[in-house]
Structure 1
Amino acid sequence: MSSNVGLSTPRGSGTSGYVQRNSAFLKPRAAGFGAPYPPVSSSSIDKPSSGFKQRQPDKQILEHDRMRAIEVKVLEERERLEEENEDREKDKKMPLAEEEIDEKCDALRKKLMKEMEDGPDEGPKERRQFKSYQVHEQAEAKMQESERLRKALGIKEDWERPESREKDGSGGRRELAPSSRRSRE
């Protein structure tokens, strides 16, 4: 045995005394970069929490995914044009030059980029349509959903949750007005 870990002696314990680490134990995340919640400080313990704060999606990652989708469409168009070129060569028709294919691909890329910048998204996205690893897309969809719900219910942006009922000592129960007590009896 080393460093006072485990049994002082395995004798009579029915084990060999071999100590191994528990690989099922998950250490809590260190508060810092990538941590989902801010660290708890002594000042925040005294004050009631300001409520739930939605984690903001990373705009650069979302932009990168949109750019990748555009490039996929451009590459699909390029492959289609190259296959069309092969068919033209078989039929002994005039094939497109490589420069013409590049120009058409560049034109499509510019058109898709302009649509991405000008046009709104495809509409409201549902969180269910995303995979579990698409956390930024899910966060963006959740924010849009929360915004639609807030507008539908007429809640102002600067609205804050009212104080808890537990602080007034009633334990969540409200007293009935005297007139309503008589009507119940």
Structure 2
Amino acid sequence: MYNGIGLSTPRGSGTNGHVQRNWALVKPRQKEQTYKNEQDLTNLDAVTHRQPNQEILDHERKRKIELKCAEFADILEEQGFSQEAINNKVGNYRKLLMGQGGKLEPPVNQWGRVS
């Protein structure tokens, strides 16, 4: 028996038990293959490439700002500033970063120089 097909044992059947495929029921092949045209490909591309979620981008920007603030607080703490002074300076630094729209790089002009 092969994959559940054929005799369980060829003994007494008068055959050797060899299983063959029945070619009488072969389905005809498709003569024409339909391919996607340019319009279908652009539609599929538009579906798979979505714009990023703005809330996720804002959250990531805020995380980067808080990381910069934490690093700044550590530097001030190592320099021996009081906790109140650290909180004030970090608060001002956070406002500065938020005022730039969350951009952590300084603004540059058309030649790539810091303006």
State TM-score, norm by structure 1.
Answer: 0.32
For CA contacts below 8 A with separation 6 or more, give which structure has more relative contact order: 1
